[in-house]
Amino acid sequence: MIKIGHIELGEFPLLLAPMEDVSDPPFRYLCKLFGADLTYTEFISSEGLIRDAAKSVKKLDFTEFERPIGIQIVGYNIDSMVRAAKYAEEADPDLIDINFGCPVRKVVSKGAGAGILKDIPKMVRMTEAVVKATRKPVTVKTRLGWDENSKNIVEVAAQLQDTGIAALTIHGRTRAQLYKGTADWTLIGEVKNNPHITIPIIGNGDIDGPVKAMEMKNKYGVDGIMIGRGSYGNPWIFRDIKHFMDTGELFPRPDISERVKVCMMHLEKSVSWKGERTGILEMRKHYSGYFKGYPNFKAFRIRLMNALTERDVMEILEEIRGTYEI
């Protein structure tokens, strides 16, 4: 049984990664429905949170159905991160997560996210301060290092564990790689097999289905897997991986009727939570995943990307169902 603090997550938990404009309440609901063991909010700016910025505060929203859930915070100032952790704690998540992995320039340029990988002593001090500031379990998500010449995650993981964190998620790329190339799980395995490490080690990077998940589990011995881009338009990935690990058989892929039904549910929840315009815009990144592999889909995709009202999207989805239904 894998535990993060007091949270029991089963024998081999599958986690939904915190992703900006993706892992919002509508999408977390669907991933939970299909078997995600732990979900995270989109990352929340510590500066935005302590200033009561509406966008940051809204990201604290979650429902009881989504539990267990972690609120992820990101920032460059230790005092602000401490205050943000206390603010987030008031929303009563199951844990607080620190983002030391986001590679986006606007985050990194401030020394936040993966930017802190150039200042490991500060990274450790910040983690220790956040751990001391909250009664909630604190976890960290980070990368192998800043670049190819500084893959120091084995040493850094031991230092982070010594601050009192409850678990560590490692993305198998450096900041310099962004999301390019192939994730290297070798060092994730080294961290997991370091006799000094006693906290759960979660692997992340390039998990796109059951076979890859099983391979990483068996080869590197991680305690669980976090799934990011592989879940886009594919909340079934959690169900599929669990079924494969339990039975050794691949779960049948959802037919067009289920795909349309779940996509509609996603759209409804997105519009309900964000309003029609934003809800529709932020659904667009999911359509390719929902209907991946369907022939001659380009015309439908263009229409979906250009539709501006919920009613229009729903009508197109009904057309898609009718076109591809056997």
Q: Give me the catalytic one of 95, 102, 131, 213.
A: 102
pLDDT of residue 178: 85
134 and 232 fall within a common domain: yes
Q: What is the CATH number of the domain that holds 17?
A: 3.20.20.70
CA distances 231 to 28, 108, 161, Å, are 10, 25, 29
In a shared domain, residues 180 and 291: no
167 and 100 assigned to the same domain: yes
135 and 229 belong to one structural domain: yes
Residue 75 and residue 182 in one domain = yes
CB 59 within 8 A of CB 35: no
Q: What is the pLDDT of residue 67?
A: 96
Q: What is the DSSP letter of 224?
A: E
Q: Between the CA of residue 210 and those of 2, 225, 236, what are the distances in Å?
A: 20, 11, 11
Answer for the pair 96, 87: CB distance below 8 angstroms, yes or no.
no
Instruction: Cite the beta strand spans of the chain per DSSP E.
Output: 3-4, 7-8, 14-16, 39-40, 44-45, 69-74, 95-100, 138-143, 167-171, 201-204, 224-227
| Cα–Cα distance measured from residue 149 to residue 224, given in angstroms and rounded to the nearest whole number | 27
Judgement on whether residues 232 and 273 belong to the same structural domain of the protein: no
**C-alpha dist (Å) from residue 268 to 272, 276, 292:** 6, 9, 21
Same domain, 315 and 190: no
- Assess whether 20 and 96 both reside in one domain: yes
Which range of residues forms the domain containing residue 137? 3-247
List the Cα angle 22/191/147 in 5-degree steps: 65
Tokens of 51: 């200033």
Q: How many CA atoms lie within 13 A of 184 on its CB side?
A: 18
| CATH code: domain of residue 270 | 1.10.1200.80
Q: What is the 3-state secondary structure (H, E, C) of 74-112?
A: ECCCHHHHHHHHHHHHCCCCCEEEEEECCCCHHHHCCCC
Last residue of a domain, one of 221, 247, 273: 247
216, 247, 278 — which closes off a domain? Answer: 247
Same domain, 12 and 123: yes
Residue 85 · residue 96 · CB < 8 Å: yes
Q: Please tell me whether residues 13 and 118 are part of one structural domain.
A: yes
| Same domain (yes/no): 260, 241 | no
The amino acid sitting at 86 is: K
Q: Identify the CA nearest to 17 among candidates 231, 234, 240, 235.
A: 231
102 is catalytic: yes
Q: Partners of 167 in the beta sheet?
A: 139
Boundary-marking domain end, from 180, 215, 247: 247
Among candidate residues 95, 68, 86, 81, the one with its CA nearest the CA of residue 8 = 68
Per the structure, the count of domains in the chain is 2
Q: What is the pLDDT of residue 55?
A: 86
| Structure-block tokens of residue 80 | 């602000």
The mean pLDDT values, 10 residues at a time, for the chain of 326 residues are 94 96 94 98 93 89 95 96 96 97 91 94 98 97 92 96 98 91 94 96 96 97 96 95 96 95 97 94 92 93 96 96 89
Q: Cβ neighbours of residue 147 under 8 Å, at least 6 residues apart?
A: 174, 175, 176
| Alpha carbon 206 to its chain's center | 12
**Alpha-carbon distance 231 to 210, whole Å?**
12
Same domain, 231 and 295: no
Residue 254's contacts (CB-CB under 8 Å, 6 or more residues apart) are: 236, 262
Q: How many other CB atoms are found less than 10 A from the CB of residue 273? A: 16
Distance between CA atoms of 40 and 226, rounded to whole angstroms? 10
